[in-house]
Structure 1
Amino acid sequence: MNLENKRVLVVGAGVSGQAVSEFLLRKKATVTLTDSRSKEQMGALAEQLASQGVTLYLGASPVVDQENYDLVVVSPGVPLTVSPVVQAREKGVPVIGELELSYHFTKSPIVAITGTNGKTTTTSLIGQMFRDAGYQTLVAGNIGLPLVSEVEKYTEKDVVVAEVSSFQLETTEQFRPRVAVILNITPDHLDRHGTMEEYSRAKARIFAHQQAGDWLVLNYDDPITRDFARKCQDRVIFFSRQHILGQGSFIQEGKIMVNGMRGNYEITAVANLKIPGGHNLENALAAAAVGYAMGLAPADIAQTLVSFMGVAHRLEYIATLNGVAYVNDSKGTNPDAAMKALEAYDVPIVLIAGGKNKGVSFNNFAQKIREKVRVLITVGIHGYQIEEAARQQGFTNIFPAEDYTQAVTLAYQQAKPGEVVLLSPACTSWDMFKNFEERGELFRQLVLELGKE
């Protein structure tokens, strides 16, 4: 992709948009950036971008046609229904995202991971697995570091491990990972995609351009992901914690096994894993399948699986106060993720949940609350929806909180020794925070302050 002197419009001035703008400038493109925020709202960021040579079009939409622009790069957080993107497609101006742009400048084989839940943990685990095996490894993408900022530093001998979201995959055209992983698909982001069919279709773009020699790793226990195998049967590796597989990774007699053309290998005992919960066992199985597909030795796969401690904001242990364990699962931004967090514990739970709903139902989540939770503390703009769903299930031990300070205080007052206080919101953080990391950091801070009293 030759970008020199190309007129490129970047839509969205978030982390991805900023990284794309800087990358395009290095490639000697003429860069315009548009954002719905005004210059005053963007403040110092607007001044910084302008000083770098980016033309800013803020607070309104520019006219997009072939006379003005050669390419539009849209940030993943920006819906494809915004005016610049709609105009570009109507006028025949190519529209891609940062993931597609990065792909054109990537020399390394790519392992790409998507799914509704578990992406960050699995991406981090796989990245660590390749590093432990001696590879120079870039771990980037939806996990927080834009790929476009780093991919050119890595060679054909290295590995890129990328977490990719449905938003990023929507704007791919040629993106082709050596190994594509789809962990699971459950209702999420329906406020953006509209239907489960459209959401699943976006996820499936991760393997749309794969060819002979590439691999697709799928969850055999998830009916939606299992069905994808019909489209590319000759290069699928399944993983399952419920079935013994002819080819793939699975559990047999308490051990993680990998079976394939190179034989049947024992990796390690399930009991040796440090990350808790059945969902994390699935993540480990997916990682083992990737390692096998990429030719790693069983011992190298095992070394990482038994030493990996997890990631921040995903069932992250914070402290034990008065016999109560406090756990940060701020990354649980949808009901299915929060349900998996609840299933990870066999003791009574004081649950803090709520935030901004993404257009999904809380009914199944409420059933799991009735089964696993002793006290529910709701917070955030749609916390009341979780309360209503729980009450419909006959669960009434509920305490609404105005903010996180009150929520943590209530949890501290209600929890009993031997129980777990779990932040697993089942919602995004966007009603009160910039992102789930900020929410999790505040929870950690509030818990640690309790320990000083």
Structure 2
Amino acid sequence: MPDRSKFAWLVAQSVLVDGLSDDAEGLADFLVQTARKVSILVSDQHEPDSSRIAKLIAAGATLVDRQKGKEPDFGDAETMFVDLFTSPRSALVEEARTRNLTLSSLAEVIVKSQPDRTIGVTGSAGKTTTTYLISAVLRAAGLSARASTDDRFTPSGPGHAMLASLPSLDDDTWRVVELTSHHLEYVSTSPHITVVTNLFADHQDWHGSFEAYRDAKKRLLSFQVSNDVAVLNYDDPIVRSDFAPIVKGHTVFYSMTDISDADVFVANGAIMVRSAHGASELCAVGDLLMPRHHISNALAAAAAGIAAGASLENIASALRAFAGLPQRGQIVGNVGSVAIHDDTIALNPKKAFSGLEAFAFDDVVVVSGGAMVSPGGEQRVSSDLEKADLQLYCRELSRKAKAVVLYGDGGEVIRKMLENDEQKRLTVEVATGFETALAQAVSQANPSGRVLVAPVFYNRPADLKQIIERAVQPPS
């Protein structure tokens, strides 16, 4: 049973839960123990697990049918908990706003349960890695921590498992939470320590514009007060110009260069920490096992760890032990002598570009493509800003890759862009699907070469290890 004193804002409320996803059901189960009344908005297209629904109904929840083309029945709901995959521009959310319902989310329940002991991380890239690293830093320092990455790396952010663990957490436990723009759209509480890794064009179709996407991210800082801490990436011009001015508490900058405004930075091959007593070396960059493009995330984690009370020695120990997370550039296996690098989290051009930067010239064959619309209905790479980033990615492909194998509608978009490459030095192949593309890429690679899987567009989650195992097994 949750400690109702920590959820006083819910006790007298009638609430509406959007949908029947695993997270929505977990949220409903939590709310029936805290809120006055819980209703669940059910689409007529859903086929729910009858045993789980029966359990919720037995606990007091009410199901409300949401029929296509008809106005939803909000009943006497005062707050609606929006599903992670429901767009803020959807008819449901717009109607809820018209009726002056408070909009909230599963993530806000977690943050609001203990904001003074919460670290929130957002950004267009690096959120998951930074969240994981912060929890590792805290634990190395002997501090109790519960992180959203303890349960999952995708989908991003906290889910029903972290929510269900709240009653077992004591008041000294740090909650380390990855918060996407989808979460932040509905928050009204800021964590004590916030981290912003970067900002670039993403989810334009979801939010309607880059400005709306940026403003959702800025809500992470909007409710902080004078004793709170904001850890910001000085190297990102938008973070520096748009986020830093709204900080109400203490700003901590980190940078990959020795800029005087940075509190955590890189100089002479080492991560340094600046304080009133001068600069101290945290650890040598060469001691780190993580991929190069994660060093900035390590700086963010170090800064957050310092703000939470971790020692430099403990922080350095945690950073040295980290080798990277799945789906973020790690070698996931080999087909023959060809190493397969899994960067399947790269579902936009900027992330794919960042992963490709780690490779030497002519050293890699790349697999890219996928679907232009995700299952939730979001159009991928839809804005002019995202298309400009895709052009940069295509230039980097032409500069860095030995060959590229493309698949799906997204692959066709990339193929057309690559046609404009005046040098045309890059070998371009088209495959009928993802697994076929991977096989063709392996055949294009040099002996003991490398294949990088970076979809750019939406790619159905794939277990590359299983695909590789099938590829190396001899035909029966």
2:471 paired with 1:450: yes
2:416 paired with 1:388: yes
Equivalent residue, structure 1, for 2:355:
341
Alignment of 1:14-53 (within 5 A): 14-27=21-34, 29-38=36-45, 42-45=46-49, 47-53=51-57
Aligned-partner SS, 1:172:
coil
Cα distance change on mapping 1:138 and 1:397 into 2, 3 Å = same
State the Cα distance separating 1:62 from its structure 2 match: 5.7
Aligned-partner SS, 2:279:
strand
Aligned-partner SS, 1:424:
strand
State the Cα distance separating 1:281 from its structure 2 match: 0.8
Aligned-partner SS, 1:287:
helix
Equivalent residue, structure 1, for 2:377:
none
Equivalent residue, structure 2, for 1:308:
322
2:251 paired with 1:236: yes
Aligned-partner SS, 2:198:
coil
Q: Deviations over 1:329-361 (max 9, x none)?
A: 111111111111101122511111112342231
State the Cα distance separating 1:189 from its structure 2 match: 0.3
State the Cα distance separating 1:310 from its structure 2 match: 1.4
AA aligned to 1:170 is: E
State the Cα distance separating 1:44 from its structure 2 match: 4.3
Contact residue 366 and residue 452 of structure 2 kept, 8 A: yes
Contact residue 106 and residue 159 of structure 2 kept, 8 A: no
State the Cα distance separating 1:110 from its structure 2 match: 0.8
Equivalent residue, structure 1, for 2:186:
171
Deviates most, 101-110 or 202-211: 101-110
Aligned-partner SS, 1:99:
helix
Aligned positions, number: 438
Contact residue 226 and residue 248 of structure 2 kept, 8 A: no
After TM superposition, where is structure 1 displaced by more than 6 Å over at least 4 residues in a row? none
Question: For the residues of structure 1 that align with 2:125 and 2:218, how far apart are their CA atoms?
Answer: 15
Segments of 5+ residues of structure 1 without an aligned counterpart are none
Structure 1 length-normalised TM = 0.91
2:97 paired with 1:86: no
Segments of 5+ residues of structure 2 without an aligned counterpart are 1-7, 150-155, 373-379
Equivalent residue, structure 2, for 1:128:
136
Q: CA RMSD in A?
A: 2.1
Alignment of 1:194-233 (within 5 A): 194-227=208-241, 228-232=243-247
Q: Deviations over 1:4-25 (max 9, x none)?
A: 4632111132233122111111
Question: For the residues of structure 2 that align with 1:328 and 1:134, how far apart are their CA atoms?
Answer: 32
Question: For the residues of structure 2 that align with 1:404 and 1:317, how far apart are their CA atoms?
Answer: 18
Contact residue 224 and residue 247 of structure 2 kept, 8 A: no
Aligned-partner SS, 1:3:
helix
Alignment of 1:394-409 (within 5 A): 394=422, 395=424, 397-409=427-439
AA aligned to 2:95 is: Q
Contact residue 124 and residue 200 of structure 2 kept, 8 A: yes
Q: Deviations over 1:175-234 (max 9, x none)?
A: 221111110111100111222211111111111011122111111111000112122276
Q: Deviations over 1:295-330 (max 9, x none)?
A: 211001000000012111111211234432111111
AA aligned to 1:49 is: I
Aligned-partner SS, 1:75:
coil
Question: For the residues of structure 1 that align with 2:52 and 2:346, how far apart are their CA atoms?
Answer: 34
State the Cα distance separating 1:387 from its structure 2 match: 1.4
Contact residue 137 and residue 314 of structure 2 kept, 8 A: yes
Contact residue 364 and residue 449 of structure 2 kept, 8 A: yes
Question: For the residues of structure 1 that align with 2:191 and 2:297, how far apart are their CA atoms?
Answer: 19
Contact residue 197 and residue 300 of structure 2 kept, 8 A: yes
2:263 paired with 1:256: no
State the Cα distance separating 1:58 from its structure 2 match: 4.2
Equivalent residue, structure 2, for 1:375:
403
Question: For the residues of structure 2 that align with 1:210 and 1:421, how far apart are their CA atoms?
Answer: 44
Equivalent residue, structure 1, for 2:447:
417
Question: For the residues of structure 1 that align with 2:365 and 2:85, how far apart are their CA atoms?
Answer: 32
Question: For the residues of structure 2 that align with 1:73 and 1:50, how far apart are their CA atoms?
Answer: 20
Question: For the residues of structure 2 that align with 1:215 and 1:356, how far apart are their CA atoms?
Answer: 39
Structure 2 length-normalised TM = 0.86
AA aligned to 2:136 is: Q
Equivalent residue, structure 1, for 2:370:
355
AA aligned to 1:250 is: F
Alignment of 1:76-155 (within 5 A): 76-106=84-114, 109-140=117-148, 142-143=156-157, 145-146=159-160, 147-155=162-170
Question: For the residues of structure 2 that align with 1:105 and 1:424, how far apart are their CA atoms?
Answer: 37
Question: For the residues of structure 2 that align with 1:330 and 1:58, how far apart are their CA atoms?
Answer: 36
Cα distance change on mapping 1:410 and 1:224 into 2, 3 Å = same
Cα distance change on mapping 1:449 and 1:63 into 2, 3 Å = closer
Deviates most, 391-400 or 88-97: 391-400
Deviates most, 381-390 or 305-314: 381-390
Alignment partner for residue 328 of structure 1, among 321, 334, 342?
342
Cα distance change on mapping 1:320 and 1:169 into 2, 3 Å = same
Question: For the residues of structure 1 that align with 2:371 and 2:275, how far apart are their CA atoms?
Answer: 43
Question: For the residues of structure 2 that align with 1:83 and 1:308, how far apart are their CA atoms?
Answer: 43
Contact residue 217 and residue 289 of structure 1 kept, 8 A: yes
Contact residue 115 and residue 190 of structure 2 kept, 8 A: no
State the Cα distance separating 1:409 from its structure 2 match: 1.3
